[in-house]
Amino acid sequence: MSERNEASWNTIISGCVGVGLYAEAFELFRKMLVQNIEPNIFVLSSLISACNKSASMVSQGIQIHGFVAKIGLLSDVFVSTALLHFYGTYGFMSNARRFFEEMPERNVVSWTSLMVGYSNNGDPEEAMKIYSRMRREGISCNQNSFATVISSCGSLEDELLGRQVLAHVVVSGLESNVSVANSLISMFGSFGDVENAKCVFYRMGERDIISWNSIISAYSQNGICEESLRIFQKMRRANVKPNSTTLSSLVSACSSVDNLKWGTGIHGLVVKLGLDSIVCICNTLVTLYSESGRFENSELLFLEMPERDLISWNSMLASYVQNGQCREALELLAELLRMSKIRSHVTFASAMAACSSPETLLEGKTVHALIIRAGFHENLLMGNSLITMYGKCGVMGAAERAFHTMAARDGVTWNALIGGFVENEEPREAMKAFKSMRENGLSANYITLVNILGSCSAPNDLLTYGMPIHASIVHTGFERDDYVKNSLLTMYAKCGDLASSNFIFAGFANKNAVSWNAMIAANAHHGSGEEALKLFVEMHRSGLGFDHFSFSGGLAASSNLAILEEGQQLHNLIIKLGFDSDLHVTNAAMDMYGKCGEMVDVLKILPEPSNRSRLSWNILISGFSRHGFFKEALETFHEMLQVGIKPDHVTFVSLLSACNHGGLIDEGLAYFSSMTSEFGVTPGIEHCVCIIDLLGRSGRLGEAEKFITEMPIPPNDLVWRSLLSACRNHNNLELGKKAAERLLELDPSDDAAYVLLSNVCAINGRWDDVETVRKKMKSNNIRKKPACSWVKVKNKVTSFGMGDRSHAQTEQIYMKLKDLMKMIKQAGYVPDTSFALHDTDEEQKEHNLWNHSEKIALAFGLINSVEGSTIRVFKNLRVCGDCHSVYKHVSEAVRRDIVLRDPYRFHHFSRGKCSCGDYW
């Protein structure tokens, strides 16, 4: 052609676009402009629509927008509709909307493009608003607009709305149109109504590949993986050639039911069909491998993809998040932001999920800013994700602000808010939100209930929160839901109501790992360690594998029983299986070593300060305190504050207890007052008991009594027991009697109360009173809990009672005791007969003292253990003062280290000294 006119330019460019030769089309367009030939509206529209095909063409689209504005064609309905569609394709919905609102004239395509934009950018609700506006303005829908509207109903999972639209479709007579019917199949699929999807599919007079894909996807979405594979076979028999969409649906069917075997098979088919470089199939494979635990495969696939689109990046982001690699996820996000202008609400949803701990708050705020800049801030998913993120970062104020600024909310919004309150230990707020959720017309689903049950985790919560929630669960029929049932079981277990959790556990047909773990933990913490270990073994026998929770529970049981060897074996297994990288498990192991007397091992496995959770710090502080390292306990507390971890009520119990046992009276009182003023922790009865103990132990009995009368909480048995014990140590008969009286009012069966009272009387030589107490005990049928000590020698535990003579080595044991007594008397030991309880002569009293079980256990340990090794003795009751003094002398005389554990703490004896500094 020697002479080219305007029409021929336009024809050739549109032709190139039509067959996908976009680069050529743009090159011709450039030449055309150089030659000053004006493009017509058709060529401009087709070039703009070419920019919808690939994200690499976004900047060209924006340039054409500029060009169109320059030549004054923005008012043309075709051109502006194409631009509206272009901006919608890439998520620039505010631009798309502006075009729409400013159009002097609109056609059905303009309306449809706007709806498609909203629908594809995660805002089907807005799409439906446009649809109602369209109906109000009397514009009739074509097949494309109906298809979009129907798919929006599907995304919204709004069945009622769906059926209304279906009625409109029937009136329009378009229900037999293939595109419309296809959309109906997928809409029913989204509703979980596979029957109706099937019905539409089989009634179709004519089907295309999309019809087949839609029915396959309807099955796969609903977890009916086998059926989608069956339809796939049927499709092949009908000689319909599967396309990439078919294969994508099948791969995702496999990942949704976590069937790696079938998924791998389909991957093979993909390769066989030569579809392995198709972007959307690779995307589904990235997800398949990530969700079935093959993270490496997923990452490799992503790295080797010949071409990537936004969804590839989003899939990889999600995969990193799912695999717990949040740093990598944020780095990937940064790379995406550097490389391309394209991002979607889903990109940011994953980005926010990567910022799920207080350390990532700054990154989270940055993502928030990016969302606002990208114009996604009014999106429902973004609002929901923001609430979740701020909740997980521990800033509920920000979460609430996000909640209040949202234009629309759904059930997820409320669940995220409630979950945030629960996670941040604000049960009152959680309950308040739970209530207003229902007042706002939204009903709770199983996730709401699982969340809200988590707000109830202490015995005191049971009546206030736990039982009313349980009642509402029964009322709404959610009791049958397995997740809810497990949460109920866990709730009762955490509140220490083992009878109720046992009842639920026993009646549970589908016990899973969660149920077993909850029962193991409950028994370890509230019931018995033996029962917990029994369950641990049974769980394994029932064919379930152990996870982080089971190991934490098993370790807690070992701590509870103070069985170091078993705990160590468990810890070895944990290391072998790689569970030691989990912080919860490490915390449980630290606690186990601490409670079994091995502070050295605690420090060996202690994570770096920046990696410690509040629980780790609490365990460390209580460990130091329990072992008499009071200075270290206090230092650890300050280190905890330095790294920015907020102390909680447990931290203060350990801290105050350290001050208490370390005789750090002023420090203890100062921490107690700073607890509320500086850290906002309300003192509980347990803190008050520490202060009473602190004052009483140091002999400030008057102040202790004054504190009791002035404290904001009514005193309980622990308060009076502590005061009584202080009266016994500091010989205050009057106050002691008063304390014992109060104590016995609260708990008449308390054997310790009688024993302590008779102690006070005995010290004062009030043997008549001692007799009265003893008679009272007898008439109330109360017996002193028998003392018992045990010692582990060469892996065998031997226990002894008071004056025990049942052991085969009895002769040797008592000989040894005689030797020891002689040896330490020479070194200055004086028997403290004030610990003897009977009115006998001094010699007899001394004899009784040397019948104490802890002394017998010590003698046995010395006879049978290897020279130089540490002797470990356990006692079920508090160690006696005379025995404490004997242990000190013996440790010096025989040059052996001795560790004595009573129910409260460890005493490390070495070279005549005890770690408690004789102040316990």
Give the binding site for DNA (CB under 7 A): 116, 120, 122, 144, 147-148, 151, 155, 178-179, 182-183, 186, 189, 208-210, 213-214, 217, 220-221, 243-245, 248-249, 252, 255, 279-280, 283-284, 287, 309-312, 314-315, 318, 321-322, 344-347, 349-350, 353, 380-381, 384-385, 388, 411-412, 415-416, 419, 423, 445, 447-448, 450-451, 454, 483, 487, 514
Instruction: Tell me the Cα Rg of the chain.
Output: 37
Q: Greatest CA separation found in the chain?
A: 135
Helix (H, G, I), strand (E, B) or coil at 914: strand
Least spacing, CB of residue 50 vs DNA, in Å: 16
> CA torsion sign, 112 to 114 to 120 to 124?
negative
Instruction: Pick the closer one to DNA by CB: 150 or 694.
Output: 150
Pairing of strands 871-875, 898-901: parallel
Nearer to DNA, 222 or 853 (CB): 222
When the beta carbons of 312 and 586 are compared against DNA, the nearer one is: 312
State which residue, 409 or 907, has the beta carbon closest to DNA: 409
Q: Shortest Cβ distance from residue 251 to DNA (Å)? A: 7
Handedness of CA 189, 193, 196, 198 (dihedral sign): positive
**Beta carbon nearer to DNA, 191 or 672:** 191
In the complex, minimum distance from the CB of residue 774 to DNA, in angstroms, rounded to a whole number = 52
Three-state secondary structure call for residue 898? strand
Q: Which CB, 485 or 901, lies closer to DNA? A: 485
Question: Whose Cβ is closer to DNA: residue 348's or residue 860's?
Answer: 348
Closest distance of CB 298 from DNA, Å: 11
Give the residue among 737, 743, 730 at the shortest CA–CA distance from 773.
Answer: 737
Q: Which pairing describes strands 796-801 and 788-793: parallel, antiparallel, or unpaired?
A: antiparallel
Q: Which two tokens stand for residue 249?
A: 């649906």
Q: Are 246 and 212 in contact (CB under 8 A)?
A: yes
Place of tokens 């919560």: 461
Q: How far is the CB of 369 from DNA (least distance, A)?
A: 19
CA distance 434 to 442: 10
Q: In the chain, what are the helix, strand and coil shares in percent, each to the nearest 5?
A: 70, 5, 25
Cα–chain-centroid distance for residue 121? 30
- The minimum distance between CB 334 and DNA, in angstroms, equals 17
CB of 703 to DNA, least distance (A): 45
Q: Which is nearer to DNA, 521 or 658 (CB)?
A: 521
Shortest CB 812 distance to DNA, Å: 55
What's the per-residue H, E or C state across 387-416? HHHHHHCCCHHHHHHHHHHCCCCCHHHHHH
Nearer to DNA, 248 or 550 (CB): 248
In this complex, which beta carbon is closest to DNA, that of residue 225 or of residue 723?
A: 225
Report how far apart, in Å, the C-alpha atoms of 274 and of each of 213, 242, 243, 248, 907 are: 19, 12, 11, 14, 72
Q: Give least dist CB 541 to DNA, A.
A: 21
- Any residues with CB less than 8 A from the CB of 383 and at least 6 apart, and which? 377, 402, 403, 405, 406, 409, 413
CA–CA separation, 729 and 735 (whole Å): 12
Q: How far is the CB of 466 from DNA (least distance, A)?
A: 15
Minimum CB distance to DNA smaller for 243 or for 264? 243
Q: CA-to-CA distance for 739 and 724, rounded, in angstroms?
A: 5
SS3 for 805? coil
Q: How many CA atoms lie within 13 A of 508 on its CB side?
A: 25
Residue (of 196, 192, 133) closest to 166 by Cα position: 196
For the bound state, the minimum distance from the C-beta of residue 432 to DNA, rounded and expressed in Å, comes to 18
